[in-house]
Each structure stands twice: as C-alpha cells, then as structure tokens.
Amino acid sequence: MADPAPNPYGAKFRSLAILLVCEVGAMTVWFSSASVVATVKQTQAVSEQAAALLTSSLQAGFVAGTILSALLSLADRFDPRRLFMGSALVAAAATAWLVFLPPTGPLVYALRFLTGMCMAGVYPVGMRLAATWARGDLGLLIGLLVGALTLGSASPHLLAASGGVDWRLVYAVAAGCAALSGLAVLLCDIGPHMKRAARLDLSKFTQAWRDPAVRLANLGYLGHMWELYAMWAWLAVFLQASFSLSGMADAGHSASLWTFATVAAGVFGAWGGGVLADRIGRTAVTIVAMATSAACALLMGWLLGASPWVVIPVALVWGVSVIADSAQFSASIAELGDPASVGTLLTVQTCAGFLLTLVSIHLVPDVVALAGWPGAFGMLAIGPLLGCVAMYRLRQRPQALRLAGGRR
C-alpha cells in the first residue's frame, strides 16, 4: 500500500506556527531594550541620553545590518532558515554578555548595535520565509507576524507598570528565547513559492527606487513609519501629562497600562487589515488605515488634559489603525517585485523605514517645546497623509492589478 500523500496545508500551518513563535522569540532581544530602560530607571539614576542610546544604538545597528544584507542580497541567495538561525544565535550571545556588564556604557552600546545588525537577519527574513507559503493570503500571513511583533513591542509598558523585575533577568530571558528560536527555526519548511537568486546582483538594491510601483509602495511605508515609532515612543509621556492635567490619581501607572493596551490593540489591526487587504485590496486598506491613524493623531494632541475616557478611546482607535496597514506594504513589495529579489526588497524597505524613525522620534520633543503636543502629533500625521497620496497613485497604475489577486 502506497504511503499517503503529504498534506501541503498541514505543512504550511506547522511551518508558519513555528515561524511565528521563532520570530517573536528571536525579537525579544529587541524588545528587551525598552524593558531594561523601564526597569533600570526604577532603581538607578540613568541619564536620558544614556537610556536613549540603549534603544538608538540597536536601531542604528539594524539599519547598518539591513544595508549590508540588501547589498549582498543575503535573503535571496541563501537558505533563509540558516540565515535566521545564525543571526538569532549571535544576537543571543551578544545579549547574554550584557548580563555581566553595567546597564549602560560604550561596550553595552556596541553589543546593542551588534544585536541590531543581527535583527536584519531575523525580521525581514521571517517575512521572506512566510511569503514562500502565500497563496491568496499573503497579507494575512505577514499580518500575523506583524501582529505578534506588535504584542512584543507592547510588553515593556506592561513591565514598567508592574515593576520589580531585575534588568539582568530581562536580558537573560531574552537571550535564551533568541537562542532557542534560532535552533527551532530549522524545523520550518520553505514554502513552494521560493525563488532563490543565483548570484550577487547589486542592481537589486536599487530596484526599490527604480521601479515606479515598488517606489510608491515604499513611499507609502515611509509615511506609515514616520508616524508609528515616534507615536509609540512618546505616547506614554503624552498620556501621563494628559492624565495628570485631568487630575487622575497615579497618572504614571495608568499611562503605562493604557500605552500597553494601545500598542497591543494593534494585534487586532494587523489581523483585520490582513484579512481585508486579501479580500478588498492592499491600496484600499492602507489608504483607509493611514487616513484614520492620521486623524486620530491630529485629534489626540488637542485632547491634552481632557477626560481620560475621551482620550483613551481615540488612542485605542489609533493603536488599531496604525498597524492595520503595516504588513500590507511588505505584502505589496512581495507581489510587485521580482520574485528572485523579494528578500532584498523587503530588507531595503525595512532599512529605509527604521532609518526614518530615528529622525521623527528625536524631532518630537523639540516640536513639543515649540508648538506643544498638537504641533508634535500634527507633524507626525503628515507622514500617513503623504502615504495615502503615494498609495492612491499606486492604485492608478496598471501594476496595481498584481496586488491581492487583482483587487489592488
């Protein structure tokens, strides 16, 4: 009797479930940076500049790593599982070393930079691996990854609200999760839609800007990123100021809890945006989501000091809408780009986006000093509004019919 035929749906579900867990586990070394800042400040006097360097050195490393990966087309030339594994294991070792060092200092920043470089072999590579399994559900698959990472990004705010966790334990747990994830990712299968590049081709790096349709998708993503990480970075500060002005007791604790809820609400946006984009079109979903998040940002700045029960619903709607479009820019790149260049194009996209966040994050306090929170949040809302324009222009191009099975 012949062996039963393998079940492709079973292999897909198993591989994507493993990938989802491994992606979040490996990215804990990224999330740990914000968690450590929150816990160290509770017990030690750390300057704002030193605390900021814990995060910015990691993001700078990520930008450097994505540039190197894109130039060498690593995600398209090599087995993505082994690239993921190597990156996660190095990041785990660099993070484990931090347990034996003081919380800040030049060597600490250098290790966070190295960890950031390694994340270039985890985050976009994970999206590349998920895309190999897509069959009419690319937006949902990448949306699930983004949703899981959004929940991970929210966790430091919950930790800050609870307090009492030793920062060394945060690094130790993160290092262990990354190491286990690096090994477990080898249990994933590569999907049937993997096309590997045969050789190094530096022209793939510039395809992200030479191809008009790909360029517009990237411009939409940049508009989204201009707003996202800066709002995430400063939302707790805004909510604490607003809650204090409104007379709420224990404003700091409440601000941490509601910031966690706002960021975590993006999980529903990632899932819902993925389902809708696969059914009604990627440009439609991204335009509506960016218009909604921009409107919430514009409104929220003017609600400073208003009743928390007015501010909180606006923040929650923002938290859902700002993530609803996030995965769809990556899905668009995977559908618009050369199949043999998808890994490189995704890496270029994330590189440009995170490089831009370094600008918007650091602009917010300066704009707050000049024009208050309405001016700062209004400045951030410019990004998604311009992103709407880019995605509308993409919708008018014939290449848009390659998105979401012709649903644009």
Chain segment 69-88, per-residue pLDDT in tens: 877 777 777 788 888 999 99
Q: Give domain status of residue 3, yes or no.
A: no
User: In sequence order, which residues have a C-beta less than 8 Å from that of residue 239 and are 6 or more positions away?
Assistant: 254, 255, 258, 259, 311, 315
Q: Give domain status of residue 211, yes or no.
A: yes
**pLDDT over 90 percentage in the chain:** 26
DSSP codes, 29-63: HHHHHHHHHHHHHHHS---HHHHHHHHHHHHHHHH
Tell me if 118 sits within 8 A of 89, measured CB to CB: no
pLDDT band at residue 295 using 50, 70 and 90 as cut-offs = very high
Of 298 and 263, which is predicted with more confidence?
Answer: 298
> What are 311's two structure tokens?
């501010």
**What does the alpha-carbon distance between residue 130 and residue 145 come to, in Å, rounded to a whole number?**
9
Mean residue pLDDT of the chain comes to 82
**What does the alpha-carbon distance between residue 262 and residue 266 come to, in Å, rounded to a whole number?**
7
What is the number of domains present in the chain?
A: 1
Q: Give domain status of residue 20, yes or no.
A: yes
Q: Give domain status of residue 7, yes or no.
A: no
Q: Residue 272 has what pLDDT? A: 86
Q: Where are the alpha helices (DSSP H) in 163-281?
A: 167-184, 203-210, 212-246, 251-264, 266-280
Q: Give domain status of residue 73, yes or no.
A: yes
**What does the alpha-carbon distance between residue 210 and residue 367 come to, in Å, rounded to a whole number?**
34
Tell me if 128 sits within 8 A of 343, measured CB to CB: yes
User: In sequence order, which residues have a C-beta less than 8 Å from that of residue 77 and are 6 or more positions away?
Assistant: 196, 197, 199, 200
Q: Give domain status of residue 9, yes or no.
A: no
Q: Residue 254 has what pLDDT? A: 84
Among 382, 51, 109, residue whose Cα is nearest residue 237: 51
In degrees and rounded to multiples of 5, residue 137 shows phi and psi of -135, 30
DSSP 186: G
Chain segment 253-293, per-residue pLDDT in tens: 788 888 888 888 888 888 888 888 888 888 899 999 999 99
**What does the alpha-carbon distance between residue 333 and residue 191 come to, in Å, rounded to a whole number?**
18
* Residue 177 Cα to chain centre, angstroms: 18
Q: Residue 345 has what pLDDT? A: 80
Q: Please compute Rg for the chain using Cα positions.
A: 21
Q: Residue 375 has what pLDDT? A: 95
User: Residue 35 belongs to a domain with what CATH number?
Assistant: 1.20.1250.20
pTM, entire model: 0.81
Q: Give domain status of residue 8, yes or no.
A: no
Mean pLDDT throughout 175-204?
Answer: 75
Mean pLDDT throughout 141-152?
Answer: 75
Q: Is the pLDDT of residue 4 over 60?
A: no
Chain segment 210-256, per-residue pLDDT in tens: 788 888 989 999 999 999 988 888 888 899 889 989 888 887 778 88
Q: Residue 3 has what pLDDT? A: 43
Q: Is the pLDDT of residue 367 over 80?
A: yes
Q: Give domain status of residue 150, yes or no.
A: yes
**What does the alpha-carbon distance between residue 197 and residue 121 come to, in Å, rounded to a whole number?**
17
Among 196, 193, 192, residue whose Cα is nearest residue 6: 192
Out of 137-151, 305-319, 322-336, the most confident range is 305-319
Task: Write out the residue range of the structural domain in which residue 107 sits.
Answer: 14-406
